[in-house]
Amino acid sequence: MGGGSRPGTPGGPKTEISVATVSRASELTIGTKAFFEKDGEIRQAEILSIRDMAKRQNIQRSAEDKPIEADDHGDLEYEFYVHYVEFNKRLDEWVSQARARLDKPVTFPKKKNKATYGGAQQSTRDKRRKTNAGGSVATASTPQTPDSARHDDAAYTSTEGTFSKEKEIEKLRTSGSMTQSTSEVARMKNLNVIEMGQFQVEPWYFSPYPAEYAYTPTLYVCEFCLCYYDNKTQYTRHRGKCTLQHPPGNEIYRKDDISFFEIDGRRQKIYCRNLCLLSKCFLDHKTLYYDVDPFLFYILTKRDERGCHIIGYFSKEKESAENYNLACILTLPQYQRMGFGRVLIQFSYELSKAEGKLGSPEKPLSDLGLLSYRTYWSEVVVEQLVGFDGEISIDELSHLTSLTTQDIMHALFNLDAIRYYHGQHCIVLSDRVVEAYERFKNKKHRKIDSACLKWTPKVFTQAELRYL
């Protein structure tokens, strides 16, 4: 399982580290862990990239390169792209050398030393990397569709053992593989600011936009068709010609100023791919953006006199072997903390009720997704139990709410509501849980009105489910 072997045993590579102090910022290298000032605190961070602050050009490509000295290239002012240790990747950022605390100890990485035994003998990892014919390696962390496997084969037929950033960028851009290993380009954000309508948003993660659009000061995204531009003039010209005022799909729900649109990924490939590119900026674990044919997309919008503005979306597979009712969910950052995430989750279960099925989101969930679903499951379960007099089973709760029994049990254990009494398990809601539910009930929040849903479950033929 691990990358190395136990002390005293031959085998895998060993990585040594050294702790020292430095006096100049030019001595810091990629892979170094140093201390930087962040929000009035001093935090340890790993340096992922270094660039010239004035020219915005990378001046060091790998940890083994020799640092460029100021004497050779004039007065350099450094900027470091850092990942704060034990913090989420969405906080990664470029920091100036003025924020580096050189008075603190610095941890330097060293080259990995591979020990060979018997000449031709190979390590177990090297043997696992061998393939019978194609030369590509499929791992558990990179789920592959036929399309992505074909792209991977094309990108990795080279027998060279060196890592190529160019090939990796091309793989991320074509196959949709978004594995987040420590050697991938996807560790760094490639966009600074996204402008959508009246909002400017800072991306959280890497997204495989084409190279000519990445690393621009501002990426302009049309909020109706989701086309993207790196130039303000081009974007303004497009907005004058764009005739879309809502997502290109069927409106299946409308109440007050909220609407839902259903979009078939096979019929609207460009829009759905643009949507996935945009969502990858805010979802670390999204794995596919290119292959949108097997999915239906449900877009949540807010209407005004100019049109229907996208708030968020969720996608679901047309045919799910595990009966998942949701594959990916996102509320755009400018609309977060307004209750729209709960609206998206509730709407996915309303569709499950219309289908007469139990629903559950695709696992594993992201950190924010798990928090949202755990809260929703708890609220739904408590709503059914408060004021109920009599006996009810987990299966009966499941049929009433369209939640799976596993999700209901997860919610009950999270509420600490399972008790063992007189030889059997009982559901007991504490006063704290009931009081929290009453506070939630008295708050004003958005809810889906099932009477406003105009939708019938789709039945797809074998020809429509053929994605080659």
Amino acid making up residue 193 = V
Q: Which residue has the tokens 């799909």?
A: 249
Q: 418: which residues sit within 8 A by CB, 6+ positions away?
A: 409, 412, 425, 426, 427, 428
Nearest CA-CA partner of 258 in 227, 296, 194, 304: 304
Buried b (16+ CB within 10 A) or exposed e, 193-222: ebbbeeeebebbbbbbbeeebbebebbbbb
Nearest CA-CA partner of 81 in 230, 186, 232, 224: 186
What are the CA-CA distances from residue 70 to residues 51, 77, 220, 225, 379 (Å)?
13, 9, 36, 47, 60
Q: Which of 37, 93, 168, 362 is catalytic?
A: 362
Dist. CA 78–CA 357, nearest whole Å = 57
Beta partners for 264?
A: 296
DSSP string, 372-421: HHHHHHHHHHHHHHTT--S---HHHHHHHH-B-HHHHHHHHHHTT-EEEE
In the residue annotation, 362 being an active-site residue is answered as yes
**What would the two tokens of residue 354 be?**
């219309």
Beta partners for 33?
A: 46, 107
- What is the bridge-based pairing of β-strands 219-221 and 194-196? parallel
Angle at 223 between CA 56 and CA 346, to 5 degrees: 115
Residues annotated as catalytic are 362
